[in-house]
Structure formats: C-alpha cells, structure tokens
Structure 1
Amino acid sequence: MRWITQYLPGEVARELFAARDAGAGEQQQTVLLARALGHAYFRDGGRRSHGLHIAFSDLEFADFSIG
C-alpha cells in the first residue's frame, strides 16, 4: 500500500468535475486521477520517468481538499 500526499493543479479538479458532469463513471474518473498523479508524483511534472504508465488498482481511500 502506498500513501500519497500530492498537490494537483486546479485544472485536474476541473477535468474531474467535467467528466462527472458528463456522466463519466468511477472507473473513468479514476483513470483521469491516475494520469494526473502519474504526471505530478511519479514523473515529477515531466522531469523523470517519461515512459512510465500509471494505473490504480484496489484504490481504498482518497481525500481531497481545496487550499
């Protein structure tokens, strides 16, 4: 299990809300979140691990705050 605390830009929230409002299911929203976290956390904003593909499996908990 990996605990990740990561800042994501507001555009990610907009993309997630737009997907939800367009009827995207949890699976599709999880893919969007995995892509955003992959870029910000694992690829360090595009500075490393360029070919890395990120997928969530068995996501147990997510907590979001706006600050």
Structure 2
Amino acid sequence: MRWITQDLPGEVARELFAARDAGAGEQQQTVILARALGHAYFRERGRRAHGLHVAFSDVEFADFSIG
C-alpha cells in the first residue's frame, strides 16, 4: 500500500470538474487523476521516470481538498 500526499496544480481540478460536467464517468476521471499524479509525484514534474505509465487502481481511500 502506498500513501500519497501530493499537491496538484489547479488545472487538474479544472480538468476533473470539466470532465464531470461533460458527463465523464468515474473511469475517465480516474485516468485524469492518474496522469496528474504520475506527472507530479512519480515523475517529479518531468525530472525523472520518463515514460512511466501510472495506473490509479485498487484505491482504498482518497481525500481531496482545495486550498
């Protein structure tokens, strides 16, 4: 199990809300979140792990806040 605490840029929230408002399902929104986490957390905003594929699956708990 991996605990991740990561700040994501505001454009990720905007993309998620836009997808939701356009009728995107949970799977499509999960892809957006996985892409954002992959870039920010695993690839350190492009500084490492180029080409790494991130799948956001088997999530037991998620807590999000806007601040």
> Does TM-score exceed 0.5, indicating one fold?
yes
Point out the structure with the larger helix share: 1
CA distance in 1, matches of 2:28, 2:61: 17
- The runs of at least 4 aligned residues of structure 1 exceeding 4 Å deviation read none
| Number of aligned residue pairs | 67
Identity across the alignment (%): 90
Cα deviation per residue 1:6-29 (whole Å; 9 max; x = unaligned)? 000000000000000000000110
Structure 1, unpaired ranges of 5+: none
Q: Does 1:48 align with 2:44?
A: no
Q: Please, what TM-score do these two structures have when normalized by structure 2?
A: 0.96
Residue type matched to 1:13 in 2?
Answer: A
| Pairwise CA distance, 1:2 | 0.5
| Pairwise CA distance, 1:49 | 0.4
Q: CA RMSD in A?
A: 0.6
Structure 2, unpaired ranges of 5+: none
CA distance in 1, matches of 2:61, 2:18: 21
Q: Please, what TM-score do these two structures have when normalized by structure 1?
A: 0.96
